[in-house]
């Protein structure tokens, strides 16, 4: 039986086996394709076994480290100092990322010209830098301040003389094409974005090498500003197809590869789900709607209020309470909770009583991170007393509302993944949730 493999580290969320098996199926083959999850210091141990296969793919952190074990590299791998495919028969390393990159840009109608801003100078970043300069683009590379000097040396070693190197915070809205070759925005850092809103809005095309999640904050913001955006899934499939051409001379039709790209997008949503919703919980008047608007704007997420959804479908909540009672309202609330649990990339402001049902919480946690706004009672009471749109607060009975607040507080605390201080100002809460989301996901 023929054997092929993928070499990398922390490959739990890799799509490579799925893609390569589909490509082998198109070629009428059924070889063994294995994943070697190997840390940087273990390369010498696994290389002898990999050299017994028919060919293997390579990803981070081994793209450059593998070169000394080979007898040669192709033109692209030599130029970028990065190998992602090895033909064991010849012990030659290839870089097919360039094929995937250029073809995905071409398919999406993104010309690699004008002013190009590249974030990152790893293996993929070096390839993108070389190709941008080769195409005649005016290249600027944005790096972290501590990486700037190393970046200048890297560009010099690639023979790139006229590119600018700037710190990430020095970006300005003046670029035609944005290229993200960093892991910023990739699971688990799904709420990060390598470029500012101003830079994204001022561009014409955005290419994001990330494919997990399918919709990164970068792609969502590009969509928000009407900017053409390309995800990394097409590049991943096209570079894999190029590896098969090297290994055994395979040829694939564009239509077949397009179907694989679509299937990969569906597969990653199913098998590698990302909790991309932010669910805001808390007592009536805790500030969920106001904070929700800020968060949705920050991440270019959709914004949903469960009470508003109930009213759009069934009429005013006060009328439901009056005519059918609270039990009937809670049943409708659970129906809405189940529906919004299927959303992606959304901020969901949950009704104050929605978390009282463990089934509601369970549903919302499936795709969401639950954030509790721990707002002092007196502040909530000031906002809601005498609010006739809220059946449970319309009479303004402070003692009854305090008892309800106290009873629900433990429920909110128990279901929360993150707790925010609701007494802070809205800008302070936005800053706090951004920090807490990063810590929670890491």
Q: Indicate the helix (H) or strand (E) that contains 44.
A: helix 43-50
| Residue 192 region by backbone torsions, left for phi larger than 0, else alpha for psi between -120 and 50, else beta | beta
Nearest of 216, 206, 204, 141 to residue 174 by alpha carbon:
204
Q: How far apart are CA 79 and CA 242, in angstroms?
A: 18
Q: What is the DSSP letter of 79?
A: H
* Cα gap 338→376, rounded to integer Å: 29
How far, rounded to the nearest angstrom, does the alpha carbon of residue 417 sit from its chain's CA centroid? 19
Q: How far apart are CA 10 and CA 4, in angstroms?
A: 19
CB–CB of 68/47 below 8 Å? Answer: no
From the list 29, 52, 63, 150, the catalytic residue is 63
In a 3-state reduction of DSSP, which class is residue 51? coil
C-alpha–C-alpha distance, residues 219 and 215, integer Å: 6
Which residues lie below 8 Å from residue 263, measured CB to CB, with a gap of 6+? 22
DSSP letter at 283 equals: S
Catalytic annotation on 63? yes
d(CA 52, CA 48): 7
CA 416/CA 286 separation, integer angstroms: 15
How many Cα atoms within 13 Å fall on the side-chain side of residue 420?
A: 32
What does DSSP say about strands 3-8 and 32-37: parallel, antiparallel, or unpaired?
parallel
Q: Give 3-state DSSP helix, strand, coil % of the chain, rounded to 5.
A: 50, 15, 35
Count CB atoms within 10 A of the CB of residue 368. 24
* Residue 349 φ then ψ, to 5°: -90, 110
Residues classed as catalytic:
63
């Amino acid at each position: 039986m023929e054997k092929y493999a993928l070499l990398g580290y922390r490959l739990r969320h890799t799509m490579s086996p799925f893609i390569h098996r589909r490509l082998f199926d198109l070629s009428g083959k059924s070889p063994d394709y294995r994943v070697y999850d190997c840390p940087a210091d273990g390369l010498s141990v696994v290389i002898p076994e990999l050299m017994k296969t028919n060919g293997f793919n390579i990803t981070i952190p081994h793209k450059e480290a593998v070169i000394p074990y080979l007898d040669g590299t192709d033109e692209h791998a030599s130029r970028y100092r990065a190998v992602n495919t090895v033909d064991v028969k010849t012990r030659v390393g290839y870089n097919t990322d360039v094929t995937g990159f250029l073809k995905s840009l071409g398919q999406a109608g993104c010309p690699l010209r004008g002013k190009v801003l590249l974030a990152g100078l790893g293996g993929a970043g070096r390839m993108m830098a070389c190709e941008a300069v080769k195409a005649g683009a005016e290249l600027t590379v944005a790096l972290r301040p501590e990486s700037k000097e190393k970046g200048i040396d890297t560009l010099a070693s690639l023979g790139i003389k006229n590119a600018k190197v700037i710190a990430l915070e020095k970006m300005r809205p003046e670029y035609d094409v944005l290229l993200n070759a960093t892991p910023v925005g990739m699971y688990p850092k799904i709420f990060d974005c390598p470029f500012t809103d101003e830079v994204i809005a001022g561009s014409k095309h955005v290419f994001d090498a990330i494919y997990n999640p399918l919709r990164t904050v970068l792609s969502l913001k590009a969509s928000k500003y009407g900017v053409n955006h390309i995800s990394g899934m097409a590049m991943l499939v096209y570079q894999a197809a190029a590896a098969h051409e090297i290994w055994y001379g395979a040829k694939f039709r564009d239509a077949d590869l397009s179907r694989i790209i679509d299937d990969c997008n569906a597969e990653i949503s199913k098998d590698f789900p990302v909790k991309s919703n932010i669910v805001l919980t808390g007592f009536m008047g805790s500030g969920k709607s106001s904070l929700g608007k800020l968060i949705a704007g920050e991440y270019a997420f959709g914004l949903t209020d469960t009470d508003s959804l109930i009213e759009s479908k069934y009429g005013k909540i006060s009328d439901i309470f009056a005519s059918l009672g609270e039990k009937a309202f809670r049943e409708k609330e659970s129906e809405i909770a189940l529906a919004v649990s299927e959303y992606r990339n959304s901020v969901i402001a949950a009704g104050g009583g929605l978390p009282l049902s463990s089934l509601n919480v369970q549903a919302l946690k499936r795709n969401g991170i639950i954030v509790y706004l721990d707002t002092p009672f007196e502040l909530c009471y000031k906002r809601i007393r005498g609010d006739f749109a809220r059946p449970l607060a319309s009479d303004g009975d402070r003692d009854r509302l305090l008892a309800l607040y106290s009873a629900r507080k433990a429920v909110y605390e128990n279901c929360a993944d993150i707790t925010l201080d609701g007494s802070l100002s809205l800008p302070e809460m936005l800053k706090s949730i951004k920090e807490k989301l990063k810590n929670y996901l890491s």
